Chain A
Amino acid sequence: MKKEDIVKIVAEEFNLSEVDVLNYFDDIFDVLIECFRKNKNVNISEFGKFLVRLRLNQEGVKEKIVTFSPVKKLADDVNYYFNNLSKVNLRTLDGKVLDDIAIQQRIDIDLPQDFEEFDIIEIEDVQDEEELLKDYLEPIIEIEEEVVIKEEHIETIKELESKDIKVKEEITPELEIQKVEEHVDTVAEVKEHIDVIEEEKPEEDEHIEVIEEESKDLNIEQEITQEKEVEEKSFDVETEMKSFLLEHISLKGKEKGTPEIDEYTIVSKEDEKKETGDVVEDISIQEISEKREVDSEEDILSKENYEEEIEEITTERDKIIEEISNRELELSDFKKEEGTLAEKEEILGDVTDKEKPGDEKIDHEKEEELPAPKELDKVAITDVEDVKEEIEKIFAERNKILSEIVELNLDKPELDEKTLPEEQAEPQEVIDKQEVSKEVKSDEDEIVRMIEERQRILKKIQGLSIGEFKKSPGDEEVLNEEPEGNEESHKDINEENISKEKEEKTEKEAISECDDIKPEEELSVSLDDFEEGEVESIRSGIFSSNNIEEDINKILDERKKIIDNITNLELSVFDKLMEDSEKESSESVINQDIENLTKIKMNLGEADLKSVSESTVITQPEVEDAIDLPDPPLEFKIKKDVKELHDDIVEEDSDKVEEIPKDKYIEDPKNFDDIFIQDDQKVYARDNDEGYSNESKSSLRDNEDDDKKNEKKEDEHSDGKNEKSNKKSFTIPWMILSSLIV
């Protein structure tokens, strides 16, 4: 109900216009608000009390608040459903539980007395008895319907049970046939898996074929035994469960495609269909589920065994393939090396021909001796050891052959140098350094190497000297010295290392090659420029292209260091010069100050300023004569005063000082008093304390205070006797200058 509804009702009841009633309604609450504003509580009988209260706001300000407390009747009407409820004493403060009371009261609370009364009220509201009867009769009818529904439900349950039985009879054979089919599929898939393994194996590896055949035989035997068992056993629930569990194995195969079924499997299907139908009809589903749970573990184990065996076979197969591939690679390497040697030397041909069939024999023997697949790990280890032994034998034979080649080369040195390429010569040196170094041949090879290195070094140095080091002439000299020494170093090496008989030949060859290579005459240098350490390094063969680069880098580093040192020296010299210039500038500043003073003197007048200048100049010797203290403090003070004056002049524009109007000074002053009198507007003599304005007095007091402070400072450095003379000497020019500045 809203305000408008109330207005309409009242207007209809009392035959009043709605506007009047509405105005009356509004006036009621306006009057109430006015009463609240006047802090008057309003009591409306049969409705409630409006109380006005003061409350502190969040901001700390008092606010008026109106509260309403309804009449008891109104409150009871509002709380109609909970009026009969009362307080319940649960327990005393001592801890005694008042269970009896609590339970009783709770029971009273729980009892739906209120709701009974509520029903009665509804009945009171209803006027017709028929409606009441309907209300009471309806639940009875509902109960009858429920009973009917229950009966129907029972019937439906019975029907469903009968149907379920039929469904069991109809569905179970089909499901079990599917299971049997899947089991047959698994057998076919295992065969396919074996075929796949057969296809994957390489044809070359006979050893692997033997292993796989054995593994196949094992697997096929197991599978055949399983199939026989399937035939022999009557298709009990256990076998069906096994077949059901074997489905998991065949899932992967089904995803790829349905396998082909053999005649054997088709026959077994037909037999199974007949047998399974009879068996499953007798057995209930609960029994089947129980048996499945019991037999599932055993079937899983059987499946896992199949999978594990297949995995083991595959892993072993992979290992064997890897070993064989490694062997082939090793043998191919040896064959290549031996083949190259056999082409050049017929002696080696016989040896290699002997080795090749030997390897094949070994392989055949191994293949024959290969054990069952479970013992393949041991076999693999033995094979590796055999291979190592073979390799060692091959190395020993190879070393013998090389030694023979060396001997042959010694007999025919000229042919060997030309025929054998450099690529073959290098590995010979690597392997037989100790043996060959004793012989003369090694010396010749070393000489050849040294000559080659020398050529490379010379080329690099030429490139560097032309390209990088043109900018720094000092470095060119350093770099040009090194290659010049190389030639002589080579000569020294030849003299020391080569025997006397072969010195001449080698020197001639080296010199002939060097003459061909020499690009410039500048590279020839005497031994005096070459250090002993470098010669030794060249002798030991360390002097290579890498060492040259390192030396160049070292030279560059030294160059950088020298440049840094030069820059540091320049900076230090520059700093010293700056310090000297500062000293000179300080002296020059003093001189400039003196000059400024002289200018001021010129402005003031020559005659009197002479005395001023004398006062400034004369004070120093007086102090020196009078006081035993050292000079520096006084000089420092004078300089300080002069600097302060200079700074003040600079700040206040020297032009102003120079361009003092003529009215401010006297052209020919006779006494200082005249000056002070002229400037008495702002500067005054100390004796004349009269006629000061307030501002001028304050300024003078400040000046006097400053003077006193200065005097105190001076007194610290001077004795009491000479105080008067010093005061006079310093005070007079200060006053003059201050007057001029102002």
Chain B
Amino acid sequence: MNKKSLIRKINSRVSFDRETSTKVFNRIFELIKKSIVEDKSFEIEEFGEFNVEHRKMKTMIDFKVKAEVLLPPKDKLVFVPAHSMENRLNTEK
């Protein structure tokens, strides 16, 4: 599913115009991104939580190069779904 199809579905429920709905949609996700980058976490009730996790540097073997490689540290964005959503996915029909 794309963004357009998503916005269509949402427009069926809401009385906004398509333009306004797209603008609102884009703006909401921009703000979510900003909060993730700044606060390194953003929680949406009954959906899930976006967290930034730090991974330490570690050594790995790269078989393409046939050498032991040291991976640098990095911050990774992780989505942790809510239990309510998991239940809805697995129980409701």
A85 within 8 Å of B (CB atoms):
yes
Q: Is the CB of A79 within 8 A of B1?
A: no
Q: In the complex, what residues of A have CB within 8 A of residue B46's CB?
A: 29
Q: Which of B51-70 contact A (CB under 8 A)?
A: 52, 59, 61-62, 65-70
Interface string of B29-43 (1 = CB under 8 A from A): 101111111111011
Which A residues are in CB contact (< 8 Å) with B67?
89-93, 98
| Contact B33 A47, beta carbon cutoff 8 Å | yes
Whether B24 pairs with A14 at a CB distance below 8 angstroms is: yes
Interface bits A89-121 vs B (CB < 8 Å: 1, else 0): 111111000100010010001000000000000
Taken together as a complex, chains A and B put the C-alpha atoms of A82 and B53 apart, in Å, by 13
Q: With A1-B34, A16-B24, A77-B37 known to touch, is A87 a contact of B77 (CB < 8 Å)?
A: no
Contact A63 B52 (CB under 8 A): no
Q: Indicate which residue in B10, B40, B45 contacts A27 across the interface (CB closer than 8 Å).
A: B10
Q: Specify the chain A residue showing the minimal Cβ separation from B92.
A: A37
If the complex has contacts A78-B75, A87-B70, are A27 and B59 also in contact, measured as CB distance less than 8 A? no
The residues in B between 7 and 40 inclusive whose CB is less than 8 angstroms from any CB of A are: 9-10, 13-16, 20-21, 23-29, 31-40
Q: Is the CB of A28 within 8 A of B10?
A: yes
A24 close to chain B: CB less than 8 A: yes
User: A66's contact among B10, B16, B26, B79, by CB below 8 Å, is which?
Assistant: B79
Q: Of the candidates A33, A75, A92, which one forms a contact with B77 in the assembled complex, judged by CB atoms under 8 Å apart?
A: A75
> Using Cβ atoms and an 8 Å threshold, which residues of chain B touch A47?
29, 32-33
Whole-angstrom CA separation of A64 from B69 in the bound complex: 35
Give which listed residue, B70, B71, B77, contacts A70 with CB less than 8 A: B77
Is the beta-carbon distance between A36 and B9 smaller than 8 angstroms?
A: no
A45 at the interface (CB under 8 A from B): yes
Most-contacted residue by chain B among A31, A43, A64 (CB, 10 A)? A31
- Residues in B with CB closer than 8 Å to A16 are 16, 20, 24
Closest to A77 in B: B37
CA distance A544 to B26 in the complex (A): 125
Interface 0/1 of A9-27, CB less than 8 Å to B: 1100110100011011101
Kindly state the separation between the CA atoms of A35 and B47 in the bound complex, as whole angstroms.
13
Which one, A9, A63, A77, contacts B31 given CB within 8 A?
A9
Bound complex: CA A33 to CA B40 (Å): 23
Interface size class for chain A? 35 or more
Q: Flag if B75 contacts A20 (CB, 8 Å).
A: no
Instruction: Tell me whether B6 and A6 are in contact (CB under 8 A).
Output: no
- Partner of B24 from A10, A68, A75, A105 at Cβ < 8 Å: A10
Tell me if A86 counts as interface (CB < 8 A to partner B). Answer: yes
Contacting pair A13 B69 (CB below 8 A): no
Query: Does A42 contact B24, Cβ atoms closer than 8 Å?
Result: no
Q: Which residues of B contact A21 (CB under 8 A)?
A: 24
Q: Looking at the assembled complex, report how far the CB atom of A231 sits from the nearest CB atom of chain B, in whole angstroms.
A: 78
B76-93: CB near A (< 8 Å → 1, else 0) gives 111101000110111010
- Take A82-B74, A85-B74 as given contacts and tell me if A33 and B85 are in contact as well, using a CB distance cutoff of 8 Å: yes
A41 CB within 8 Å of chain B: yes
Which of B1, B3, B15 is within 8 Å of A35, CB to CB?
Answer: B1
Contacting B at CB under 8 A, from A26-70, are 27-29, 31-33, 35-37, 40-47, 50, 52, 63-68, 70
Partner of A31, one of B10, B28, B75, B85: B10
For B86, list chain A residues within 8 Å (CB): 63-65
In the complex, A86→B26 CA distance in Å? 32
The CA-CA distance from A716 to B52 in the complex, in Å, is 96
Contact between A87 and B62 (Cβ–Cβ < 8 Å)? yes
> Are the C-beta atoms of B37 and A78 separated by less than 8 Å?
yes
Cα A161 to Cα B10 with chains together (Å): 83
- Interfacial chain A residues near B72, Cβ < 8 Å: 82, 85-88, 109
> B residues within 8 A CB of A46?
26, 29
Residues of B within 8 A of A2 (CB): 43
Which residue on chain A has the smallest CB distance to residue B79? A68
Docked pose: A45 CA to B6 CA in angstroms: 11
Complex Cα distance, B88 from A98, in Å, reads: 53
* A89 & B62 in contact (Cβ 8 Å cutoff): yes
Inter-chain contacts of B76 with A (CB < 8 A): 75, 78-79
Alpha-carbon gap, A1 to B45, bound state (A): 14
Q: In the bound complex, do residue A64 and residue B90 qualify as a contact, i.e. CB atoms below 8 Å apart?
A: yes
User: What is the CA–CA distance of A369 and B37 in the complex, to the nearest angstrom?
Assistant: 108
Known: A82-B73, A86-B72, A90-B69. A42 touches B20 (CB 8 A): no
| Contact between chains at B37 and A90 (CB < 8 Å) | no
Min CB distance, A263 to chain B, in Å?
A: 82
Query: Is B68 touching A91 in the complex (CB atoms < 8 A)?
Result: yes
Q: A90, B59: Cβ atoms under 8 Å? A: yes
Q: Is the CB of A3 within 8 A of B44?
A: yes
Residues from chain A with a CB closer than 8 A to the CB of B71 are: 87
A81 interfacial contact with B, CB 8 Å:
yes
A74 within 8 A of B: yes
Tell me the complex Cα distance, A50–B89, Å.
14
Inter-chain contact B1/A24, CB cutoff 8 Å: no
| A1-B42, A93-B66 known; A6+B32 contact, CB < 8 A | yes
Known contacts A6-B31, A44-B29, A79-B74; decide if A87 and B69 are in contact (CB<8 Å): yes
* Residue pair B39, A1 in contact (C-beta under 8 Å): yes
Which residue in A9, A63, A78, A85 is a CB contact (below 8 Å) of B90?
A63
Chain A residues whose C-beta falls within 8 Å of the C-beta of B78 in the assembled complex: 68
A10 CA to B27 CA, complexed, in Å: 7
Q: Which B residues are in CB contact (< 8 Å) with A44?
A: 3, 6, 29
Kindly state the separation between the CA atoms of A9 and B31 in the bound complex, as whole angstroms.
9
Q: What 0/1 readout, one digit per residue, does chain A (343-374) give for beta carbons within 8 Å of chain B?
A: 00000000000000000000000000000000
In the assembly, what is the distance between CA of A196 and CA of B64, in Å?
Answer: 96
Cα of A42 to Cα of B48 in the assembled complex, Å:
15
User: Which of chain A's residues has its CB closest to B93's CB?
Assistant: A37
Which residue from chain A places its CB closest to the CB of B42 in the assembled complex? A1
> Of B3, B23, B62, which one neighbours A45 at CB under 8 angstroms?
B3
Complex: A35 Cα to B50 Cα, angstroms: 19
Is A90's CB under 8 angstroms from B70's CB? yes
Report chain A residues within 8 Å CB of B92.
Answer: 37
CB-contact partner of A28 in B6, B45, B70, under 8 A: B6
Do A37 and B1 form a contact, CB below 8 Å, given A10-B24, A10-B27, A93-B61? no
**Is the beta-carbon distance between A66 and B89 smaller than 8 angstroms?**
yes
Q: List chain B residues, Cβ under 8 A from A80.
A: 37, 75
Closest chain B residue, CB of each to CB of A98? B67
- Measured between alpha carbons, how far is A10 from B20 in the docked complex, in Å? 11
Bound Cα distance from A63 to B33, whole angstroms: 28
Q: B89 is contacted by which of A37, A68, A74, A91 (Cβ under 8 Å)?
A: A37
For the complex, what is the distance from the CA of A24 to the CA of B74, rounded to whole Å?
34
The B-contacting residues of A in range 329-343, CB under 8 angstroms, are: none
Residues of A within 8 A of B14 (CB): 20, 23-24, 27
Enumerate 21 A-B pairs (CB-CB under 8 Å) in ascending A order.
Answer: A2-B43, A10-B27, A27-B13, A28-B25, A29-B44, A31-B6, A31-B13, A43-B1, A47-B33, A52-B89, A65-B81, A66-B81, A68-B77, A75-B77, A77-B37, A80-B37, A86-B72, A87-B71, A90-B70, A92-B67, A98-B67
Interface pairs A-B: 9 shortest CB-CB: A68-B79, A85-B72, A1-B35, A88-B70, A89-B67, A64-B89, A29-B47, A79-B75, A6-B31
Known: A14-B20, A27-B10, A77-B37. 10 other contacts (CB 8 A): A14-B24, A31-B13, A32-B47, A42-B1, A47-B33, A74-B36, A81-B75, A85-B73, A87-B69, A89-B62
A→B interface (CB under 8 Å): 1-3, 5-6, 9-10, 13-14, 16, 20-21, 23-25, 27-29, 31-33, 35-37, 40-47, 50, 52, 63-68, 70, 74-75, 77-82, 85-94, 98, 102, 105, 109
